[in-house]
Amino acid sequence: MIFGRPKTNIGNCTALGCDRKQVCKSYCDKHYRIFKLRGNPIALLYLKNEGSCSVEGCSNISERKTVCGKHYRRLQRNGTMEITKEMHGLSKLPEYSIWCGIISRCENPNGEFAYCYIEKGIKICKKWRTSFLAFYADMGTRPSKKHQIDRIDNKGNYSPKNCRWVTASVNVRNSTIAKLNENQVREIRNSEISCIKTAKIYKVSRTTISRIRKGLSWNI
pLDDT bin (cut points 50, 70, 90) of residue 33 is confident
- Domain coordinates in residue numbering, the chain: 11-50, 84-174, 182-213
Q: Report CA-CA distances (Å) from 41 to 21, 28, 53.
A: 14, 9, 20
Residue 91: the pLDDT is: 79
CB 86 within 8 A of CB 73: no
CB 219 within 8 A of CB 185: no
End-to-end, the C-alpha distance of the chain in Å comes to: 79
pLDDT bin (cut points 50, 70, 90) of residue 12 is confident
Residue 142: the pLDDT is: 93
Q: How many CB atoms lie within 10 A of CB 68?
A: 20
99/216 Cα distance (integer angstroms): 32
91/55 Cα distance (integer angstroms): 24
Q: Of the ranges 12-26, 117-131, 158-172, which one carries the lowest mean pLDDT score?
A: 12-26
Averaged pLDDT, 17-37? 76
